With several copies, the nearest count.
Chain A
């Protein structure tokens, strides 16, 4: 029906891990309504392992699907592993995205990075994460 792959449509229609986590160990928001996308990501961490991940997203199909996929991909992973998650990996796991939608996967990576950054800060640790400025996230 659309330009999206079946996998993207599946994650869009039946998104995994929608919602908030109260008292999350890490929480990050990226995007703004003028770009058309806002992603908010929450993680719950136990012994360096992400035991729960949730999101809320205002955005297009690709934004919702990448949020869903990204949260799926980090669940059960260590913080170090999660830090390695790239937008390319999320896109690949979704079976690809239309070219004009690539920036959405970048946004998911950024939301995760932002949540991880928050996790380090909340723990009083120096954050190894360098957040990219907003403009680079959205290249339009």
Chain B
């Protein structure tokens, strides 16, 4: 299988699997107990916390493990909203956030909160001025993603933070696509909260974390229990946490080479597609972009059928098409940057990883133009020139 769908999940590295295995069975013990077995488990969790903290240049006591990026996002939005409702009821997010932010915000509107969705430009950038204008004296939280999961645009978080922090408003960023993929520093970004997910940097599924800057007012999403310093109840997924820690450690070590590797391949892919296929739309920014992300709209044809052809060559990618989304709706991100329904439905997202090789790009560039042409010839929208 040639995986160009790393934004959805990366395969855990062997080193990650190795540290997890003992916790399947042997390393049994309750981390909250007074016994040594439990203490060993606790130490493993705290070591993982330290690694995850280092990944984003924060402190271990600011890291709260969750079961997913979605949980981290819900924790941030709902936790801050409920804890600060005496201060205000207004939240600002962007139009291109992940569904877990969009829907968490929507749920809050049913509980008396107000949500402003700031727009993005044609490349997917939020304009700091728009955020500034959206702020009211009721604003308690701004939540803007660090990089978009579809079009790869990296938002000017630090610049926006200046606007937000002037006003004593909490700032959350969804860094699921950046933590472990590009350098992330909570102090440079000036954020108070930041969401991560292990499956995005060669860690296990079912492990995420929320960074909460010391002193931030936030309520638990999952109440009860003493785990995670009283902020997230529930018996810990020890294996997942330990795997996330190892994945963070490896990411810290390997980040520069990983970035170079995927960016090099990604650039070959972009150049190749633009040279060999006409009427393609490049989505997102060419400069401020995730190094592993390429996103193209292929005019006149639909995404799932492109993926099906690629699948015959064991090439896996993702699509902005309504047909491949379980909600059967075209990507809200693509529509927000002004893509037509036709283009959104004909969009393919390629996200690269460390397991990709030049041969993969070669094969793709050999096959894709053929498939695109075949599908266009079947399309009622296409007129051969």
Mark A residues whose CB is within 8 Å of B. Answer: 1-4, 9, 12-13, 15, 18, 29, 32-40, 56-61, 63-64, 100, 140
CB atoms of B34 and A58 under 8 A apart: no
* Min CB–CB distance A27 → chain B (angstroms): 11
- Cα A37 to Cα B308 in complex, Å, equals 16
- B302 in complex: contacting residue of A32, A59, A140, CB < 8 Å: A59
User: Is the pair A3, B380 in contact by a Cβ cutoff of 8 Å?
Assistant: no
Given contacts A58-B379, A58-B380, A60-B308, 18 further A-B contacts (CB under 8 A): A1-B311, A3-B36, A4-B308, A9-B308, A12-B308, A33-B341, A33-B345, A34-B341, A38-B380, A39-B380, A56-B379, A58-B302, A58-B381, A59-B323, A60-B323, A61-B305, A63-B305, A100-B328
A56 lies within 8 A of B380 (CB): yes
Query: How close is A22's CB to chain B, nearest CB, in angstroms?
Result: 15
Among B302, B314, B378, the residue within 8 A (CB) of A15 is B378
Query: Provided the pairs A13-B312, A56-B380 are in contact, do residues A2 and B323 lie with their beta carbons within 8 angstroms?
Result: no
- Taking the closest CB of chain B, its distance from the CB of A39, in whole angstroms, is 8
Q: Is the CB of B326 within 8 A of A2?
A: no
B235 proximal to A (CB < 8 A):
no
Inter-chain contacts of A39 with B (CB < 8 A): 380
B35 A1 Cβ-Cβ under 8 A: yes
Residue positions of B touching A, CB distance < 8 A: 34-36, 39, 300-302, 304-305, 308-309, 311-312, 314, 321-324, 326-330, 340-342, 345, 377-381
Q: Which residues of A contact B329 (CB under 8 A)?
A: 140
A-B pairs, 5 with minimum CB distance: A34-B341, A140-B328, A33-B342, A60-B304, A60-B323
Interface hub of B301, B304, B327 (most chain A Cβ within 10 A): B304
Q: Tell me whether B330 and A34 are in contact (CB under 8 A).
A: yes
Contact B377 A36 (CB under 8 A): no
Asked if B302 and A1 sit within 8 Å, CB to CB, the answer is no
Q: 7 A-B Cβ contacts within 8 A?
A: A2-B35, A2-B311, A33-B341, A36-B323, A38-B380, A60-B304, A61-B308
Q: Are A60 and B381 in contact (CB under 8 A)?
A: no
* CB-based contact B302/A36 at 8 Å: yes
Which of B35, B342, B345, B380 has the most C-beta atoms of chain A within 10 angstroms of its own C-beta? B380
**B37 smallest CB distance to A (angstroms):** 9
Q: Are A36 and B380 in contact (CB under 8 A)?
A: no
CA distance A56 to B254 in the complex (A): 49
Q: Report the minimal beta-carbon distance from B2 to chain A, rounded to whole angstroms.
A: 13
Contacts of B330 in A (CB 8 A): 34, 36
A13 smallest CB distance to B (angstroms): 7
User: Are A56 and B305 neighbours in the complex by a CB distance under 8 Å?
Assistant: no
Cβ of B381 and Cβ of A18 under 8 Å apart?
no
**A63 proximity list for chain B (CB < 8 A):** 302, 305, 323
Partner of A36 from the list B309, B321, B326 (CB cut-off 8 Å) is B321
A-chain residues with CB within 8 Å of residue B34 when the two chains form the complex: 2-3
Q: Which of A2, A3, A64 contacts B378 (CB 8 A)?
A: A64
Contact, CB under 8 Å: A29 / B380 = yes
